[in-house]
Structure 1
Amino acid sequence: MWFKHLHLYRLHEAPSISGDTLEDALAEQAFRPLGGSEATRLGWRPPGGRRSTQYMHELQGHRLLSALRQERLLPASVVREEVEERVADREAAEGQPVSRKDKQAIKEQVYEELLPRAFVRSQKVDLWWDTRGGLIGINASSRKRAEEILDLLRQTLGSLKVTPLASQTLPVRAMTEWLNDADSRPADLLLGDQVELKAQGDDGVLRARQVDLDSDEIHTLLAGGRQATRLALEIEGRLSMVLHDDLALKSLRFSDALLDEANASDDGDDAILRMETDFVLMAQALAAASAQLLSWLGGEASQDATSSVTANLASTP
C-alpha cells in the first residue's frame, strides 16, 4: 500500500462527485483482460484486489483508486528477425529484391501473428486523491505512466483539469542552494546521501550514492557550475525521498514511527481494513509532506506561471 513514488498534480475547478457516483463511474471503466490482438489495455480495479469489489475507498477526505495496465511484450528484435527471414525466403523464391512497401506489409503481418503469443505484463498503479487539499498523487515511476492514469480518470469523469504541481522557486535552484550553503536549509530538512549533478555544457550527468553531500568534492563540483537535479532529502520524523527537478518524489521511505503506528492498529486480521488504515496514515503524511515541501520552495506557483507545463486534460466538447 505504501507509495514508492509520487507525481503530484493540482486540481483546478475540481468536479464535485459523490463517492457513490464515482464508484459507479469507475466500475463502468473497469479493467478487462487484453484481447488476443491488443497490445495494451488500461482500466480500474479494486484497490483491495481480488478479495474486494469496491473500486474506491474514501477516508477523511482521501480517496484511493487503483488502475491496472496490461501490455504484451513483443521485442522488436524478435519481429525483426522473423521479418528478415521471410524477406530472404521471398527474395530467394522470386529472384528479386522485396520492395520497401512489401517489407512493411510483411512486418505488419508478423506483428499481428506474434502479438497474441507474446507474454503479458501487468502493472498496478495507485492514485491518491486529496479532495480537501485539491491534490492528486500517482504512485508511478514515470511522468508518462502517471499521465496515462490521469487520462483514464478524465475519461471516467468526463472532464478533468489538472496541472503538475509547481513551486515558486525551481527545485533545481533550491536544491543547488541547499547543497552550497548549509545555512540556507530549512530547520526540519535533512540531507540524505544521494545526488545527481548536471553540468551546463557537455560534461554530462554525475550521479553519486552513499556520499557525504557536505563534502569538499561536492562543493568543488558545484563551484564548477554543476546544478543539483536530484537530491535525497528527509523531512524529519515523517519520510525520506529523492526530490527530482520536476518536483517528482521518488524512493519514498516512511518513518519507522509511522509504520509502527500502522502496525499497532487493530484490524482484526481484516485485509481491507489493514489497507485502509495504511492508506489514511500514508495519505495524511503525504499531504503534510507536500505542504512542507512547497513551503521550502517558496510556496506554490500560480496557474498562470505554470501555463507552459500545463497538463490540461479537460475533455473537448
Structure 2
Amino acid sequence: MWFKNLHLYRVHDAVTLGLDDFEFALEQFAFRPVSDREMRRVGWTTPASKRSTVHAHEIQGHRLIAMMRQERLLPAAVVNEEVNERAEAYEQSEGQPLSRRERQLLKEQVLEELLPQAFTRSQRVELWWDTARNLIGINASSRKRAEEVLDLLRQSLGSLKVTPLATKTPPARGMTQWLSDPGSRPASLLLGDRVELRAAEDDGVIGARSVDLDSEEMQSLLEGGRQVSRLSLGSEGQLRAVLHDDLALKSLQFDDALLDEASQTDDGDDPVVRLETDFALMTAALGTFTEQLIEWLGGEADPSAPTEMTP
C-alpha cells in the first residue's frame, strides 16, 4: 500500500471526529458496485482487505481511508456506431432523417441497452490524513481524481475546508533556481537525474532521463529562458520522487531501509497488521519529507480564505 503519488492539501478549521464517529460517517457512504443502469459509482472501501470491516485506520494521529471508484467501460465510438446504424435504418424505412431530438432519444435508448453489457473497471484511491499537521495527502495519479476523493469526504463529513498546499516560492521557480544556481540548493536536498523543461513562450517541453543536471547543455537551456516543470529529487533516508510544478509528487520511491524494516516485521499473516506497519513507516517518512519540501521552497504560503463547501 506504499503510495506512488501524492497530492497535498492543507486542512483548515477542522474539528477532527473521534475514530468511532469517523468510521460511522464513512460507513454511511460505503462502496456498492454499480448497478446495470449506472455509469460510475464511488464509496469508501476497507483499506486492509475485502475480509476487513474497518474503513478507517489510525496510527499515532495518522488516518488512512480508501475510496473505491467503479465505472462501466462503454466507449463513445461504440455508442455512436450503433446510433448511426439505427438512424440509417430508420431513414431508409421512413424516407426521412431523424430530427435532432429523435436522434438524442435514440442515443439514450442505445445507452440504456448497452450499459448492462459493458465491462466494469475498479480503482482504489487512498487518502492519508495527518491530524496533527492538519495535512491531507492523496495517492492519486491526477488532481482531478484527488478532488473526487475530497468531494466524497466532504459529503461524508458534512463539510470540509481544504486548499491545495502552497509554498511561498512556486515549485517551478524553486526547481529552476536549484539547477541554475547550485549554491542555492538546500543541504538536505538530493537531486536525481530526471528533468522536464518548459519554454515560457511556445509551451515547448524538453524531457530527459539519466542526465547530468549540472552540465553545460542544461545551463544553456536554463539561460535561454526555460523553466523546470518537473524534477526528480529526494531526501536521505526518506524517499525520492518527481516534483511537479503544481507541488504534486509522482513516482514515489521510499528508502530501501524503510522497505527492509517493513518486510522484516512479523505480521503473522494478518493483513491489518501488515497494512498498519507499512502505513506507520510510510507516513513518518511522508510527514518529514513534506516539512522539508515546504522549507526548501521558502515556507508555506499564507492560504487565501477558503470557501466552505458542502454537499
Give the TM interval when normalised to the shorter protein: over 0.9
Q: Give the number of equivalent residue pairs.
A: 311
Alpha-carbon displacement from aligned partner over 1:41-77 (angstroms, at most 9, x marks no partner): 0000111121211111101110010110001111111
TM-score of the pair, normalised by structure 1: 0.95
State the match for 1:263 in structure 2. 263
- Kept in 2: contact 1:44–1:65 (CA 8 A): yes
1:294 counterpart = 2:290:
no
Quote how far apart the aligned CAs of 1:313 are. Answer: 5.3
Give CA deviations for 1:13-41 in whole Å, capped at 9, x if unaligned: 01221000011111111001101110110
Alignment partner of 2:50: what SS?
helix
Aligned position for 1:158: 158
- 290-299 vs 84-93, greater mean Cα deviation: 84-93
Distance 2:49 2:5 in 1: 20
Q: Secondary structure at the match of 1:169?
A: coil
In the other structure, the counterpart of 1:102 is 102
List aligned pairs for 1:136-285, cutoff 5 A.
136-202=136-202, 204-285=204-285
Deviations 1:225-254 (A, max 9, x none): 111111111112210000011101100000
Alpha-carbon distance in structure 1 between the residues aligned to 2:257 and 2:76: 47
| C-alpha contact (below 8 Å) 2:16/2:131 kept by paired residues | no
Distance 1:95 1:147 in 2: 49
Task: For residue 203 of structure 1, report the CA deviation from its aligned partner.
Answer: 5.0
Q: If the length of structure 2 is used for normalisation, what is the TM-score?
A: 0.97
Alpha-carbon distance between aligned partners in 1 of 2:15 and 2:112, rounded to the nearest angstrom: 41
What is the distance in 2 between the residues matched to 1:275 and 1:143? 25
Displacement of 1:294 in angstroms is 0.1
Cα drift, residue 100 of structure 1: 2.0
What is the alpha-carbon distance in structure 2 between the residues aligned to residue 116 and residue 9 of structure 1?
A: 37
Q: Which moved more, 1:16-25 or 1:101-110?
A: 101-110
Q: 1:232–1:14: structure 2 CA closer, same or farther, 3 Å change rule?
A: same
Kindly provide the amino acid, as one letter, of the partner of residue 314 in structure 1.
M
Paired residue secondary structure (1:137) = strand
Partner of 1:125: 125
Q: Corresponding residue for 2:52?
A: 52
Assess if the C-alpha contact under 8 Å between 2:49 and 2:271 holds in 1.
no
Instruction: From the superposition, tell whether residues 177 and 25 of structure 1 become closer, same or farther in structure 2 (CA, over 3 Å).
Output: same
CA distance in 2 between counterparts of 1:213 and 1:112 reads 54
Aligned residue in 1 for 2:310: 315
* 1:115 paired residue number: 115
Q: Distance in 2 between matches of 1:215 and 1:96?
A: 69
- Give the equivalent residue in structure 1 for 2:83: 83
- Kindly indicate whether residue 26 of structure 2 is the aligned counterpart of residue 26 of structure 1: yes
Residues of 1 paired with 2:299 and 2:154: CA distance? Answer: 27
Partner residue of 1:13?
Answer: 13
Q: Which runs of 5+ in 1 are unaligned?
A: none
State the superposition RMSD in angstroms: 1.2
The percent identity for this pair of structures is: 62
Report SS of the residue matched to 2:21: helix
Which amino acid counterpart does residue 173 of structure 1 have in structure 2?
R
Deviations 1:198-230 (A, max 9, x none): 111125112222222222222111111111111
Q: Is the 8 A contact 1:243 1:249 kept in 2?
A: yes
Counterpart amino acid of residue 148 in structure 1: E
Q: Which range moves more in the overlay, 93-102 or 232-241?
A: 93-102
Amino acid at match of 2:38: E
Contact between 1:154 and 1:313, CA under 8 Å: does it hold in 2? Answer: no
